Structure 1
Amino acid sequence: MTGEVARRALPTRTVESRLIVVARAQRAEDYDAVLDVLVDAGIRSVELTLTTPGTFAHFPRLRERFGDAVDLGIGTVTGTDDLARAIDAGAAYIVTPITSAAFVQQATDAGVPIVPGGLTPTELFASWSAGASAVKVFPAGQVGPGYLKDLRGPFPGIVAVPSGGVDLAGAEAWLAAGAVAVSVGGPLLGDAFSGGDLGALHDRAQAFVEVCTP
């Protein structure tokens, strides 16, 4: 069944880096300084979340400034209108925390990779069989890397990105279990969006890059 559906591949840089940084800030203007550090540390894929006010308005500036160095996705998409806006904005990929075949169809028809979230085998397979580029195992911290090995039994071809509570050791373990990439937020970003030490952020980002780079 999975071989019969249209499926948009994740961006090459994202797949090669095996690491997506989830940026959730208090305001969109705070993205710039943090992205400067992340890009310098070797990060090549960043998911900008719609829970950050002003993300859509600020996105064109971020694409112009960072688009040649990093895949900029848009995440926390929970409605069809926001999905359409993310497509129109030129998101490199779209991430949603929910399971929706309609979302997958909408993004795929527009030629944009999409990663829908889910936790149960039924949810994850529903998205995968609908044509998702990958499925987001969320919240990954509630199950652990062994869960992906179990899923690979009935669904050997499924492409998964764990998200939620993935720290440095977890990133290594999930990738060893067969994840195409890991989605990381707090354990990497720490207090960077609330005045934290950007030098320390650089060190944390480099550590994740070293673990995730094949």
Structure 2
Amino acid sequence: MDLRAALAAHRLVAIVRGGDPEAALRTVLAMADEGVELIEVSLSGKDALSVIERAREALGPDRPLGAGTVLTADDARAAQRAGANFAVTPALGEGIGAAHALGLPVLAGVMTPTEILAARTSGAAALKIFPAAQAGGPAYLKALRGPFPHELFVPVGGVDEAATRAYLAAGATAVGVGSPLVGDAADGGSVTALRDRARAFLTVTQKGKP
């Protein structure tokens, strides 16, 4: 898949990390049904590879579906086997190069300018500023865009609806959102409330889109 184009088009990556595999699967499918196009299932969740595999079967072969918390080459290979077609990392590591070699575009976790350069060298398609709130928020992102005007930045960590607006205004290509969007749905919480939150975030991320 063309991750760069997808991030620019959809501007939202939903992050699912759950302790209940059945609930996590329901969460993925409910958000997809609401129109969330980019969904990442973190490998740190319970039976995450099974969730990815079953979600892939339900969504079909072409829908974007990511594996998050890809730390190692083994993680990258397992994610691809399960059906992920993009990978997300929290930091620099061997998972980036391994995923890239397997043909999986990578949203690579970075925080500093040095890490941005290293991620680019490793073949990352886009850059996840993580943890964004602790890194300095929208002001930090705006500062990074000075020396790196052509990079695709995706802030992740503490991104609620208000922060989403601020990051997009500061030049983020997209945002990655976990608990402010998913809530407790991936642990068995309300899917109805999840759907409401998904519609709210879609409204924010699609408003004013170029």
Report the TM-score when normalising by structure 2.
0.89
User: What amino acid does structure 1 have at the position aligned with 2:128?
Assistant: K
CA contact 2:67–2:87 (8 Å) conserved in 1: yes
Kindly state the Cα deviation for residue 171 of structure 1 after the two structures are TM-superposed.
Answer: 0.9
Structure 2 equivalent of residue 4 of structure 1 = none
2:83 is aligned, of 83, 86, 90, to 90
1:158 matched to 2:151: yes
Structure 1 equivalent of residue 122 of structure 2 = 130
1:26 is aligned, of 19, 28, 52, to 19
Instruction: Give 5+ residue unaligned stretches, structure 2.
Output: none
- Aligned to 1:150, the other structure's residue is in SS state helix
Q: How many residues align?
A: 206
Structure 2 equivalent of residue 111 of structure 1 = 103
Whole-angstrom distance in 1 between the partners of 2:20 and 2:90 = 21
Report the TM-score when normalising by structure 1.
0.88
Q: Deviations over 1:150-175 (max 9, x none)?
A: 11111221111110100001111111
1:62 is aligned, of 55, 61, 64, to 55
Summarize the Cα distance change of 1:154–1:15 in structure 2 as closer, same or farther, 3 Å threshold: closer
User: What amino acid does structure 1 have at the position aligned with 2:194?
Assistant: L
CA contact 1:74–1:91 (8 Å) conserved in 2: yes
Moved more, 134-143 or 35-44: 35-44
Instruction: Give 5+ residue unaligned stretches, structure 1.
Output: 1-7
Whole-angstrom distance in 1 between the partners of 2:66 and 2:87 = 6
Percent identity between the two aligned chains: 42
CA contact 2:18–2:186 (8 Å) conserved in 1: yes
> What RMSD over aligned residues (CA atoms) do the two structures have, in Å?
1.9
